[in-house]
Chain A
Amino acid sequence: MRERAVALALPRTGADRALAAHPASALLRRFIRNRSAFAGSVLFGLIVLLALIGTRATPYDPVQMDIENRLAEPGLDHLLGSDHYGRDIFSRLLAGAHLSLLIGLVSVSLAVSSGLLLGLPAGYFGGWVDMLVMRAMDLMLSFPSVLLALGIVAIAGPSLFNVMLAVGIASVPSYTRLVRASVLGIRGLPYIEAARALGSAPLRIITQHVIPNILAPLIVLATLGTAGAILTGAALSFLGLGSQPPVPEWGAMLSEARNYMRLGWWLTVFPGLAIAITVLSLNQLGDGLRDLLDPYMRNSP
């Protein structure tokens, strides 16, 4: 104990002090040490990179048919084989990667911003605002979320953009509830009261003090939510409600491949594997972040 006290009192080098003092670097070290978070982020980073490459260049034209080389087995010519029109599956997966990521990104951004817009005032002001918002959320939660998304696509009409919209809207209640609960948890804390006593306007308190302190659970939910959104989006495309052929969206590819699955195993194996790996990386990252950032959420499923 005494040794430690002495050690603390000793002057340290600048770099050493900076490293120990800054909470972000401590978090970074724990992040790298957390296997789940680290593996997930590396894998997801790789997928993002491949998706970026895929929008610029692919080994073959992803929509160009080549009937002579149809149903080629995976090999040197066609890394993951070719489909019933002779299109290179690897090229199609690369070219479609950004669509899956976009479904996740757009729908979750929509859900997070709506969740903040509804959950912050509900939690901070309470009263009738809270009542109104939460009853509306309860109503949305009384539909299974996939059913809600299906209903929205039914109204808006099948398209990839409407799928993003539908998946986003369907997940608004979970974000609103999380934001509200987090705000309730910190609303009465002394630093918020201090800000109020100093005369800060509610908007300033919310943006300066509340939002930074509820970010951790929100980031965790958004990461896991992106994984879920990609799954739901792919499922809707698979049902023919999202992007339509010949767009190489992964769910739509599986929907097409389903009719030809007798002709070659690679037609259905690889597009699904691409979705699975992407979702897996985000789930790993989300689980890891949960352990790192939010000790209270560790036990939720």
Chain B
Amino acid sequence: MGTYILKRLLAAIPILIGISALVFFSLKLVPGDPLSAITGDAVIGKEEADRLREQYGLNDPLHVQYLRFVGRAIQGDLGRSLQFKRPVIDEIGAQLPATLQLTAAAMVIALTVGLSLGILAAIRPHSLLDALTMSVAMAGVSFPSFWVGLMLLLIFSLALGWLPATGTEGIERLIMPAATLGFGAAAIIARLTRSSLLEVLQQQFIVTARAKGLSFVKVVFRHALRNALIPVVTIVGLQFGNLLAGAVVIETVFSRQGIGRLLVTAILGRDFPLVQGVILFVASVYVIVNLLVDLSYALIDPRIRYA
């Protein structure tokens, strides 16, 4: 187990290096003078420009600039936002709690709804219940999340007046955004749980368990589910990334604070240090979460750590 963890940890390092390189060099593709990323719209003389270029190391070769970028990033320095005139890391720190709260709530909803729908559908395949749950799941993968959010707003805020439409504070402002964001992931989890469980239920050890007289419910929960959930765990890690990225849209729909809205503001304002910082941050979080999922995967399934 120790070797396995170490191997996985080491494998994450080149990926993180690759991510930082991709983010750094692709933003160098942005047309225009990199100096304007520092000065913004201010008009400056040639001498002043040369001095700033020297000061910010823009005359250095690209690989030197990249190494400096990585060195600073490791110490938590992601540069300064042009729009907010503040360190990028402070902006991220200020917006992070709201997004974490949203994605965590969405994940809880996605898991409870997705797993229960998937299990219900699988134990009665081709029944009315199966058809119904799978239609809901189909809607979940087909409906645009921002539209689902707007529909919830229309019904629960504007028509019924039960929930506040916008804002970040309090649980009543979390319910609709989390439900919207969780719906898509719930649908994917439900579909996967159903197909995975159906497959496991056909295997011989299930027949054996039934033959020795165990009840169907016991067989499903004690024997089948354990095996069926392994692919589901993998998808949960991937879904976490999709939830983080999906928060970009949902935060805009509900005018919530968060990293997602920060990113959209940065892109629309062409605030490249901020864009670079947020993307690097979210991608790194995504890699680390998937690493944790991989490790938990080994805990659940001994076949993986001994393979």
Stretch at the interface among B17-25, B61-69, B174-182: B17-25
Contact present for A238 and B249 (CB under 8 Å):
yes
Contact present for B245 and A155 (CB under 8 Å):
no
Chain A residues 208 to 266 lying within 8 A of chain B, measured CB to CB, are: 227, 231, 234-235, 238-241, 251, 254, 258, 261-262, 265
Contact present for A240 and B268 (CB under 8 Å):
yes
B258 within 8 A of A: no
Q: Mark A61-84, 1 if CB is under 8 A from B, else 0.
A: 000000000000000000000000
CA distance A244 to B46 in the complex (A): 36
Shortest beta-carbon distance, A231 to chain B, in Å? 6
**Chain A neighbourhood of B151, CB < 8 A:** 268-269, 272
**Chain A neighbourhood of B183, CB < 8 A:** none
CA distance A251 to B144 in the complex (A): 9
**Chain A neighbourhood of B150, CB < 8 A:** 254, 258, 261, 268, 272
Stretch at the interface among A4-12, A24-32, A136-144, A178-186: A136-144
Contact present for A258 and B19 (CB under 8 Å):
no
Chain A residues 121 to 172 lying within 8 A of chain B, measured CB to CB, are: 135, 138-139, 142-147, 150-151, 153-155, 158
A283 within 8 A of B: yes
**Chain B neighbourhood of A299, CB < 8 A:** 195-196, 199
Chain B residues 116 to 171 lying within 8 A of chain A, measured CB to CB, are: 138-139, 141-148, 150-151, 153-154, 158
A204 within 8 A of B: no
**Chain A neighbourhood of B146, CB < 8 A:** 234-235, 238, 251, 254, 272
Shortest beta-carbon distance, B215 to chain A, in Å? 26
B252 within 8 A of A: yes
Contact present for A143 and B248 (CB under 8 Å):
no
From A142, A154, A265, A272, B275 is in contact (CB under 8 Å) with A154
Chain A residue at minimal CB-CB distance from B155: A265
From A155, A276, A298, B142 is in contact (CB under 8 Å) with A276
- Report if A280-B142 is in contact (Cβ < 8 Å); known contacts: A138-B15, A144-B245, A151-B279: yes
From B188, B266, B268, A301 is in contact (CB under 8 Å) with B188
Chain B residue at minimal CB-CB distance from A236: B249
Shortest beta-carbon distance, A272 to chain B, in Å? 3
Range, interface on chain B: 35 or more
B242 within 8 A of A: yes
- Report if A142-B18 is in contact (Cβ < 8 Å); known contacts: A268-B151, A272-B144: yes
- Report if A144-B241 is in contact (Cβ < 8 Å); known contacts: A268-B154, A272-B151: yes
Contact present for A143 and B283 (CB under 8 Å):
yes
From B154, B253, B267, A265 is in contact (CB under 8 Å) with B154
Shortest beta-carbon distance, B158 to chain A, in Å? 6
Q: Provide the main secondary structure of the chain A interface.
A: helix
CA distance A280 to B139 in the complex (A): 7
**Chain A neighbourhood of B256, CB < 8 A:** none
CA distance A262 to B150 in the complex (A): 11
| Known pairs A251-B146, A280-B142 / 16 extra A-B pairs, C-beta < 8 Å | A139-B15, A142-B19, A143-B241, A144-B242, A147-B244, A154-B275, A155-B27, A227-B142, A231-B144, A238-B249, A239-B248, A239-B249, A239-B252, A251-B144, A268-B154, A275-B144
- Would you mind naming 6 contact pairs between A and B with Cβ atoms under 8 Å apart? A142-B290, A143-B286, A151-B23, A154-B266, A239-B252, A272-B146
B-side interface residues toward A, CB under 8 Å? 15, 18-19, 22-23, 26-27, 29-30, 138-139, 141-148, 150-151, 153-154, 158, 188, 191-192, 195-196, 199, 235, 241-242, 244-246, 248-249, 252-253, 263-264, 266-268, 272, 275, 279, 282-283, 286-287, 290
A-side interface residues toward B, CB under 8 Å? 135, 138-139, 142-147, 150-151, 153-155, 158, 227, 231, 234-235, 238-241, 251, 254, 258, 261-262, 265, 268-269, 271-273, 275-276, 279-280, 283-284, 298-301
